[in-house]
Structure formats: structure tokens, C-alpha cells
Structure 1
Amino acid sequence: METDPLVARDDASSKHHQPRNLGVLSASSLIFNKMIGTGVFSTPSLIYASTGSLGISLILWILGGIFSLTGISVYLEFGLAIPKSGGEYHYLQRVYRKPQFLISCIFLTQMILVGFSSGNCLAFGQYLLFALGSQEPSDWNSRLIALAVLTLVCLLHAFKPAWGTRLGDILGVVKIGVLVLIIAGGIAALRMKDLPGLQNFEHFFANDGFGGSLYDYSVALLNIIYSYKGWENANYVLSEVHNPSRTLSIAGPLAVGATTILYVAVNLAYFAAIPKADIASSGVIVAGLFFRNVFGLTFGQRILPMLILLSNLGNILAVSFAQARVNQELGREGLLPYSDFWASTTNGSPAAGLLLHWIVSAIVLIAPPPGPAYQFIIDLYAYPGAWINVLVGAGLIYLHLHSVVEQWGAQYTDSVHFHSHDIINFVFLASNLFVVIVPFIPPPSSTVLAPGYPYYLVPLVGSLTLLLGVPYWFWLKSRIVHP
């Protein structure tokens, strides 16, 4: 049997490995904190405006959860066979072996260049200023707050890693509490005479006179899939997960299943408390309308931003925690210049990996001019990851078709194995192909997006970002030391 040099070689940097001390709660929190961001507080209006039907909107939210569960299944098989930090790096290298290291360089460019926390940090700054009474937060004030919170989070993870993990666990519970509060408010709204209540559920699946085209449905589903993004987060830190077979098998499905139920229930709460016309026109403040209608003006305009602010903080903690481990793993594999430095561990934490994450995120925060240029960069955050998922899904299908997975026990690990069903793998692949192809389809009414950029610019630049891995590979391949 051919030996994979990336796996069979001695891990010379094993001295950098952190202890496996992340249990089910911490792994679940990593997933919760990345999945539950601002999406469920802002996108339901867009989904309803696109579909024109509350019932169809709800079905699409359920589909988003199903697609995420297929992703969990695919990543469980890879993760339990290769229980190492780095996530897709190891999975892609297992499948796409020739040319050697090319796929690793493509993954590296995606993780380094667009694996930033800038979007959530900026949202933190905007919501903090709004909660403090600023109706039109200054762009640079928001950025300075964003840079400060990014710095504090990275310092916390670097010098007090146990505190960072504990705070992430707490914020994961807080996020669930916020969603439960919304659900409880929705139940209360059914008994309030001045709110729509059950009236919105009449003719639930009928079109209300707008949206409903195939393109509208595709845009709605695309935004929902992005709202579920983050289900793979625990796979990036598996070297620190205690008993990966048990922990990931519980944490992954638990987090995604619970998030799906919460998302559906929260949307039902919105439907019960907000008139249809207001849902369609509310944009990103749909949650604000909900809290104002149910709990009053003060709570909706002051307390809600603070709750969403905590949600953003949880995202920043989860993304920076996982991203630093991926950066460290890339250093261990010799794929970064000065790899020993990036692979190092300080105070039980990948401080150098956190520094790299801080540098990229800070540049993205500071460099772009105000206006649509910044929004373009934020929109670019999620797209390349869908291409990586396509490669992972296609890779697992290939391994199944060639019965290669039977070799995993001997070559990779003696852990308990998990087999993802072929139908699930095909659904995962199809859903991600949908995500990468739809943005290239011209809108029926206009070819220019609201910020002034062509509709195809984000998917085009996102795809080209991955291709930057090719020239990087040409530069790096002569520097790789083969065993």
C-alpha cells in the first residue's frame, strides 16, 4: 500500500501539540458560536421578501438545516478517520495527492486570506455604538472598536486560553438563551390583540404578491445556507478534542440539530409578532421590530443591540480560536514561511497562529476605504469556503467509489470509524455546487448589485482567491522537505 508522506512522516513538531481537553460542551460551543451570528437576526426579512410566502420561507430554513446536517455527516467521516486539527487541510490532502501539496496551497490561500474575523468585529463596533445611543455610528469609530475587540480576544486566547474557552462556553449558552427569549416572545405574541398572531399563519403557503421566481428562491436559499455556516468549526481543533470519536459524534449533530430547531422556531416567533408588510420591508432590523412589538421601545432599541453584541463576541471568539489552530497546523506542515514560528506554542496556546489571524483581520479592518469596498470584502468571506466544501464532498464520494476508506484504519488512526451514506454525500456536494454556481447567474432585472458592483464580482474574486494557491505552490514546492 502506498504511503502518504504527509501522514506517515514523523511529526517533528509534536512538542507543539496542546492537550486534548475540549469536551462535548466546548466543541458544541465552538459550533454554536460560529453558526449563530447575526444571520437569524437579520436575514428572515430578505428570505420572506424573496419567496413572498411565510410557509416557503420556513421550508427553506428547514432545508438549510438539512444541508448542514449532511455537512456534519461528511466531516464526521473525515474527522473521525483523521482526528487532527486543520480540518479540510488533511481531508483534501488525503484525496488530491498529485501534484503533491497543490491542494494544500489552495486551501492555505483560502484560510489565510479570507479566514478573518473582521466582519463580526465591525458588527460588534456598530452595535456597541448603537446601544450607547449613536443613531448613525461613525465608520472609523466602529473600526477602532472592532480593532480593539479583535486585539482583546486574540490576547485572551494567547495568554489566558482557559478563560477564552470558558467565555466561549458561556456565550454559547447566552446565544441559546437569546433565541429562547425570542421564541417565548413569539408565544406571548399569540395572545396580544394588537399583534398579528395567528392571522399571519392563514394561507401560510400562498404567495403574498411579490417574489417567488426561481432566481428569488435561489437567492433566499443561498442566504440561508450562509446563515448556517460554521457547523464545521470543531473539525479545525480536533487535536485538542478529548475522545474525538465520542465528542464530535455528539457535538456536531447536537449543535446543528438544535440550531435548526431554534432557527425555525425563531422565524415562527417573528411571524407571530410582526405584520407581513413589516417583515418584508424591515431588512436587517427584523429582530429589532420583534423586540419593539413584544417588549416595548426601550428594550428593542437598547437591550437587543447588547444581546446581538454578545452574539458577535461569541463569533469572534470561536473563529479566532479555530483559525489560530489551522494557521498553526499549516506551520507544522511546513507550508508557511518561517514555519517553526507559526507552529510554535506559547503558554499552551498557538499564540503565533493568533498573531497571523490578527494581522490579516486588522488589515481587512483598516485598509479598505469607507463604503461599498468594505462591504465587498465582507461578502467575500464566505464564498471560497463553498468551493472547499465542493472539493471535500467530491473527494469523499471518490474515496467511497474506490473503496479507499477501508484503508483508513491501518493508515491513519485506530479510532472508531463513521461511514457517511452516499446519498448524504451527494446532497452535500449538490448543495455546495448550488452555492458556488448561483452567484454567477445574472439577476433577471439588473446586472448590478446595490453597492454598485457587478453581480459576478464576489464569486469571481472568491474563485480567483483560491487560484492564488497555484503560484504560491510553484514558489513553495522547492522548499518542501520530503521525508
Structure 2
Amino acid sequence: MGDLGGRLLQDTQNSDAIVTDAPGERYRLGFVDVACLIINRMIGTGIFNSPRTVIVGTRSAGGAMILWFFGTMYALAGTHVYIEYGLNVPRYVIEGVEQAVPRSGGDLHYLSFVYSWPYYQKGTVLYSAVLYGISFICVANMAGNCINFGTRVLVAANPGADINHTIVCAIATAAAFFSCLVHAVSRRGGIVLNNFLAIVKVCILLIIPGVTFAVLAGAIRDENGGIVRDVFGKNMAPSVAFQPPRNFDLGAGAPSEDLETGTVNSYAAAFLSIVFAFGGFEQSNHVLGEIRAPRRTFPRAATFAVGLVGILYMFCNICYMAVVPAYEQSTGVVALIFFQKTFGQFPGDTRPNRIFNSFLALSSFGNIIVTTYTAARMKQEIAKQGFIPFPKFFAQDADVSIGRLVLYLRRKGWKVPFFSSPEEHREATPVGALVLHLGACLVLIWSTIGIPADDAYGLLSSLSAYLITAFFGIFLALGILILRVVGPQATEAAKTQEPMRRSWRQMTRGSVYSWLSISTAVLYLIGNAFPVIASWIPRNASFGLTTVKWLVVPTICWTILGIASAWWVGFLIAGRIRSRRQHKTLVHEVWPEFDWAEPVSTRRGGDDDLRQERRRRDGGKVLVHETVLFTWEVEEMDDLQAYSDMQERDTPYDVPLTSVPGPMEPDAAAMPPGRRRQPPPEDDLAGTTFDNFAPPRWAS
């Protein structure tokens, strides 16, 4: 770009550019931080509420356990899909070499990379990005967990009392405000709180196997003083494990009605609840640009976290089967019945109910904290695409940290503890994205005021699981297969020194195995397609939500997809109208800055230097700074820029300044050094016989 265009562009940048910086090396997310992000998001209310949905849907204990096993395989397959995308997408040309640079944004960048058409302009306002971005803004928030948090707080405080949904919504609103405030004023404080809650959740799930071992040892007695018996053999005996409830050894007081066998839709709803319980393994991809040495830390932490949660979930379901008879699992919340049987349920004793609801409230609050942190970064990346109003406000970072207040107090002579030093908390945060996140959350919270709190939670959770996890998961898995079979788009020859087209196998060599990539993509595709398709099959009215019809969830999700499609079409129409009437064109340019992901150690030595250099090269680059320009400019500016570039290339700089007409005479002082036109040299032959002699062209 010529100097004139550069100066004009610089003037535009001053008012319209979006400037973001990655956290410093010291404040990047480490292994524990990344693992806790995933653990805190995955371990929520699903492991406590989903077992009843699963056993009601499958109508058998054996079918429920098999479905939970498939859910674990589904989560591991999805984790591998996200690792493959995270380590290889998006791709940049740095110093003439195309390479992958892990960055925040997750699914948004992955879908844009695979499905790069249709678009408004090449690489700008892609249909896939708009479809995902609008859907994510609408349903990917903390509304469901906020409502569940409010419900569980009320029940834990006063078991047996009627739940006022207005009070629930008020508590949910307060929880949403608190979470956004924490992440706005202290990024590091939010991460520390997230890590603490993740560790507490793991400890809570470890209580369930511990209590079960006590039951197996005969150390726990029921309210009558008898030993709590192990019923795992009755639930999982080969003769009854895959039979409907009527074939179980029901015992005294068991319901005698014959429940129908699970239908296709009930199986789909059961698996969708498992998808929700395992949801969250993609959280680290949303903030991949903030991870320290992402190529080394990200895959290890993600695999460890998902594997740990999968093992804990399987153990918890085995414990439920060992303590709670199968017929009772279909009559109430399985985890609550488990605590009632193990901790005792005496007349008037509300301790098991309080303990259970306290666990649920804590799990929901942990999900609120982690979702706010990751979803705000996602919505910041969505705003950078420029297809929503006020993109700069929603995408720009701002420093409203508590570190500014602490710094002010320190200057006034106040003493602050070391952990409150301004350096630990003064980081820019995506305040605009947090405002967008909070606004969408509050709309969903108060839009469910007319239905019971439990149904509101189930509805909002199902919307997120169906649309964000399952629906777009289909296209992510399909994208891996497309890249393996068809291959990625060719890189422009002018941008890279490497061959124009490389296969996906060549691009991913060293990061994933081809056979594992294809296998996990197929498994993830099937796991997501099943609930998306089967949810349209009618099911028994007694199954699922009591006040919400079965078709509400898929209908709302497809309506949101229709709105997102209409949004993209509307953007195209508005752009064409603006181009025709105002003669303006869209300018969307990105200037990324990169640095090595692996810092250089201060130690020196021959072997150490070689090892560090190899480790640095394998670690690749990370994005440390990005400037995004999204504005509308007059189309004639493109012609002026092209003419200016042509003149700078073709006009010889030894032409006297006087040869240029006055009105077009450039300011020599404004031109860059080395490119300024110099005045003609003095003629050494002036006043001689050879005065006014013109040499031939070949002599010049």
C-alpha cells in the first residue's frame, strides 16, 4: 500500500479500529487453569439431574449405563475434534510461511475456515460466522444455570416451601450481575475463583463413591436402624438389566403400573441430557489465545480434564445403581434419593435435602463463573466480525479493573496486602462483551417467568445443548471429514513461499493421527446428529418437561437459525443499498502481531540452547496483539489509492519538481526519506560550447 493510502488508513484507524492485546506471559493460563476451566464447566447440575432423564428415557438400568458410556466416548471424541481444530486453525502466512496460530474464538473460526462460502465479501461476513455468532449470542449464556442457582438456594434455605419464580429470577439476576462484575474488575480474580470451584466440585463427586463404599461395607444404616443394602446386583442382573421396570424385583411399595418401553425420541432426549451433562469440553478453545504455550498445554489439559470427568461420571452412576433401586430412579431426582438413603431420612430431617440442593447451587454457581469468562471472549471475537451493531464497543477491551482503585489507594498512602497489588489485577477485560453477555442472559431469565423454575432451567439448558453443542457439532465433525477428503482451500501464491495447495494430512502432521481424526469425527458426527434428528419424533407426554411441549426446543432452535439467516441476508441487502446510494464499500482489515509461544530461558549452554531452540520452534507462534478495522468508505477512495500507487511506481524521482504543475505539486517534506524527489543537479557545462546539450537516452 502506498504512503498516501497508509496515511489515509491511519487517520481512519484512529476512530474505527478495534485494538486488543493478549495477556502477558505471566498472566496466561497454565495447565491447572485450563483443566479447571473444563472441569468447572462440565461438572454442573447434569450429573445430578440427568440420571433420572436417562433411565426414564431408556426404561432400563442396563440401557442407561450403556448410554452413559457412549456419552463418555462422545465427549472424548469431541475433545479430539476440538484439539485438532485448535492446533491447526486458523492459519496465517508469517514471513512467507503458512502456519497455524492457536487463538481464541473456537467454533467461530473453525466454521469460517471450513465453510468459507457464501459471504458478503471474500473473507468478510461469512454466512457460517453469522449463523453461529447470532445463535451463540442468543442461547450460549448462563441464564439456565442462574435460574437453577436461584431455585436451589431457596430450596436449601427452606426445604418444602413453595418456590416463588419471581424471587428465583431476582436471585438469578443478582448472580448474573455478580459474575460479570467479577470478570470485569479482575481477570485473575475470576480465574482463581474458577479454579477453587472446580476443585470443590471434584471433591463433591468423590464423596459419592466414598459413601457407596461405606454402604458396601455395611457401615451405613437406614432410618429403621437396618443396614443399607447394596442393590447393584438387582439393578444390573443380566436377567433384568435391559427389561422395563415391571420385570425388576420391585419390592414393597414399588409402583405397579406398567411403563412403556423407551421410544426413539425418549432415547434422543435421554442422550441429549447426557450431552448437556458432558457439555463444556470445548471451553478451552474459546480462550485458546490466553493459554501459555498452547501447543503443549492445551491438548494435555483438555484430555486430562475430560478423562477425569468421564471417570467420575461413570463411577457416580455405578454408585447410584448400587444404592437406589431402578424403579425409584424414575420417580424423583436420583442424587437426592441417594443422599436420603445414605445420610438418613427421618421425619422432619431436612439435612439430605439441604446437602443435595447446596451441592446443586454450588455447581450452578461454578458454571455461571466459567461460562461468563469464556462466553465473553467468544462474543468479543464475534463482534470483531463486524456484522452486529456497535462492533467496536462490544469487541474493545477496557481497563475497569480493581487494580486502578488499589493503585489510587496506594498513592494516597494506604497499605494493601501483596495479593491485592495493582500488578496482579490491572488487566484490560472485554467489558463490552460482558455487557452483551449479561443483556442476553437477563432477557432469557425474565422471559421464562410464566413457567415453573425447574422447567425453565430444563428448557434453557436444552436450547444450548441442542443448538450450540449438537447442531453446530455436526458441522464441525463434518468439517474434519471434508478437510480429510477434499482438503483445505489453497493458499494464495503471492502470500506464501510454500506450495499453493497442501493436504490436511500434511498440515496436521505431528499434531494428530489421521485414523484417530477420522474415527473421532465420525463418532462425534453420529453423537450429535442423533438427538438433533430424533428430537422431532413425538414422545410420551409424561416424559421430560411438565409444562413445555416436546417440540418447543427444536422449534425455538430452528427459529433462531432462521433469524440468523435473515440477519445475514439483511446485511447483504443493506450493503448493496449503501454501495449503490452512498457509493461506499466495506473495509474489513486485520493486522495481527505474533510472538514465540515458548519463552527463552535465561540459562545458557550448548545443549540447552539447541534444546530451547527446538522447543521454541515446535511451540510455534501466538497472537499477542491485533488491530481490526471495520468501516465503510467511499468507493472512489479505492480508485484514488490505485492511481497514487501507479504514480509512485511509474514516475521517475529524478524529474525536476518544476516539471509538475503547481496544483499537483507534492510536499517534499511530507514524503518518506529516500523517496523524495531531488532538485536537478547544477549543469557543469553551463556557459560553454556544450551549453543546452542533451545527451542521448542510452547515456543517461
TM-score (normalizing by structure 1) = 0.90
The AA in structure 1 aligned to 2:207 is L
The alignment partner of 1:15 has SS state of strand
Question: Aligned partners of 1:200, 1:165: CA distance in 2, in Å?
Answer: 45
1:343 and 2:395 correspond: yes
Retained in 1: the 8 A contact 2:381–2:395?
yes
Q: Which residue of 2 aligns with 1:434?
A: 530
Written as runs of structure 1 = structure 2, the 5 A alignment for 1:288-299 is 288-297=336-345, 298-299=350-351
CA distance in 1, matches of 2:234, 2:464: 35
In structure 2, the partner of 1:89 is 108
In structure 2, what residue type is equivalent to 1:291?
F
Identity in percent:
28
Partner of 1:18: helix, strand, or coil? coil
Distance 1:225 1:60, change over 3 A: same
Deviation at 1:245, TM superposition (A): 1.3
| Code of the aligned partner of 2:529 | L
461-470 vs 98-107, which deviates more?
461-470
The AA in structure 2 aligned to 1:439 is S
Q: Could you say what secondary structure the match of 1:86 adopts?
A: coil
Cα displacement (A) at 1:323: 0.7
Other-structure match for 1:194? 228
Q: Distance in 2 between matches of 1:292 and 1:406?
A: 61
Give the 3 Å change call, closer, same or farther, for CA 344–87 of structure 1 in structure 2.
same
Q: Residue 469 in 1 paired to residue 469 in 2?
A: no
State how 1:70-469 maps to structure 2 within 5 Å: 70-82=77-89, 83-100=102-119, 101-134=126-159, 135-192=161-218, 193-201=227-235, 203-204=237-238, 205-207=241-243, 208-209=245-246, 210=259, 212-215=261-264, 216-282=266-332, 285-297=333-345, 298-347=350-399, 348-371=428-451, 374=456, 376-385=459-468, 386-404=470-488, 417-419=511-513, 420-443=516-539, 445=540, 450-469=545-564
Whichever residue aligns with residue 76 of structure 1, its letter is I
Q: Is contact 2:235–2:326 with CA below 8 Å preserved after alignment?
A: no
Amino acid at match of 2:394: W
Taking a change above 3 Å as real, the CA distance of residues 175 and 81 of structure 1, as seen in their structure-2 partners, is same
CA RMSD of aligned residues (A): 2.8
Shift of 1:303: 2.2
1:18, 1:349 within 8 Å by CA — same for their partners in 2?
no
Structure 2: unaligned runs, 5 residues or longer? 1-12, 90-101, 120-125, 219-226, 247-258, 400-427, 576-584, 590-700
Structure 1 pair 184/29, CA: closer, same or farther in 2 (3 Å)?
same
2:387 and 2:230 map into 1 onto residues whose CA distance is 57
* Shift in Å, 1:30: 1.4
Corresponding residue SS for 2:342: helix
Cα gap change, 1:449 to 1:49, in 2 (>3 Å): closer
Q: CA deviation at 1:454?
A: 4.2
Aligned pair in 2 of structure 1 residues 369, 243: CA closer, same or farther (>3 Å)?
same
Pick closer, same or farther for the CA change 1:349–1:85 going to 2, 3 Å: same
> Greater Rg, structure 1 or structure 2?
2
CA shift for structure 1 position 226: 2.1
Q: For CA contacts below 8 A with separation 6 or more, give which structure has more relative contact order.
A: 1
Q: Match of 2:660?
A: none
Structure 2 vs 1, CA of residues 77 and 455 (structure 1 numbering), >3 Å: closer, same or farther? same
Deviations 1:213-271 (A, max 9, x none): 45243332232122211111111111111111122211221111111111110011112
Question: Which amino acid counterpart does residue 460 of structure 1 have in structure 2?
Answer: T
Change (3 A) 1:93 1:22: same
Superimposed CA distance per residue, residues 369-420 of structure 1 (whole angstroms, 9 cap, x where no aligned partner): 3216846445323211111111111111111102339979979999963345
Whether contact under 8 Å (1:96, 1:103) holds in the other structure is: yes
Q: CA deviation at 1:353?
A: 0.8
8 Å CA contact 2:149, 2:364 repeated in 1: yes
Q: C-alpha displacement at 1:450, in angstroms? A: 5.0
The alpha-carbon deviation at position 451 of structure 1 amounts to 3.8
Alpha-carbon shift at residue 45 of structure 1 (Å): 2.0
Alpha-carbon spacing, 1:405–1:27, altered in 2? closer, same or farther (3 Å): farther
1:130-177 per-residue CA deviation (whole Å, 9 max, x = no partner) reads: 111152221111111111011001000000111110010111111111
Counterparts of 1:454 and 1:304 in 2: how far apart (Å)?
28
- State the secondary structure of the residue aligned to 1:187: helix
Structure 1 pair 446–370 and aligned structure 2 pair: CA distance change class (3 A) = closer
Residue 116 of structure 1: how far off its partner (Å): 1.9
Distance 1:185 1:221 in 2: 27
The separation in 2 between residues aligned to 1:399 and 1:449, in whole angstroms, is 38
Q: Identify which range, 240-249 or 327-336, moves more after superposition.
A: 327-336
> Structure 1: 5+ residue runs without aligned partners?
1-9
Q: Which deviates the most, 76-85 or 289-298?
A: 289-298
Bigger share in strand: 2
* Aligned position for 2:97: none
**Cα gap change, 1:455/1:447 in structure 2, threshold over 3 Å: closer, same or farther?**
farther
Question: Aligned partners of 1:241, 1:405: CA distance in 2, in Å?
Answer: 28
Normalising by structure 2, report the TM-score.
0.63
Structure 1 outlier segments of 4+, above 6 Å: 405-416
Residue identity opposite 2:538 in structure 1: P
Instruction: Supply the AA of the counterpart residue of 2:557.
Output: G
Match of 1:4 in 2: none
Contact in 1 for aligned 2:37/2:283 (Cα 8 Å):
yes
Partner of 1:46: 53
Partner deviation per Cα, 1:324-359 (whole Å, 9 max, x = no partner): 001111122323221111111123211111111001
Partner Cα separation in structure 2 for residue 447 and residue 57 of structure 1: 18
* AA in 2 matched with 1:257: G
Q: How far apart are residue 36 of structure 1 and its match?
A: 1.2
- Which of 17, 42, 45 aligns to 2:22? It is 17
Give the letter for the 2:166 counterpart. Answer: W
Q: Structure 2 vs 1, CA of residues 406 and 214 (structure 1 numbering), >3 Å: closer, same or farther?
A: farther
Pair 452,279 (structure 1): closer, same or farther in 2 beyond 3 Å: closer
Range with greater deviation from structure 2 (298-307 or 29-38): 298-307
